Amino acid sequence: MVSDNERRHLFAVLEERLGPEPAATMMELLPAGGGADLARRSDFIAFKAELRGEMAELRGEVRELRGEIRGDVGELKGQIAQLSAHVDGLLPKQIAANVGSMVAMAGLVIAAAKFL
């Protein structure tokens, strides 16, 4: 870390050799905290590798979720097919029961009409 005294000394040397305006421009271009705040190419390469690793991990998790969803959808389709078959099996019984009830009701109506 560069101290304020070192920055002032650098400015004085630059001002003496380059003049006031170029020295001021040069000081504005230098980071206030020194080089510690600057990112190096190696920092970007390391960050890129880390980011790629995280992206690969995320892709794996997405693939895993897709597999789980496909399994759940398959299971749900099976349950729907079972329910549909059950309903299809009940439907003829329900129709037969309703027809039987209607025939019995018609018989009662006819019998009641004969007594009247």
Mean pLDDT of 45-71: 94
Residue 52 has pLDDT above 70, yes or no: yes
pTM of the full predicted structure? 0.42
- Note the Cα 16 to chain centre separation in Å: 59
Per the prediction, the chain carries an average pLDDT of: 87
Q: For residue 113, give the amino acid letter.
A: A
In tens, the pLDDT along 89-98 reads 877 888 888 8
Residue 39 has pLDDT above 80, yes or no: no
Instruction: Reduce the DSSP state of residue 68 to 3 states and report it.
Output: helix
Residue 37 has pLDDT above 90, yes or no: no
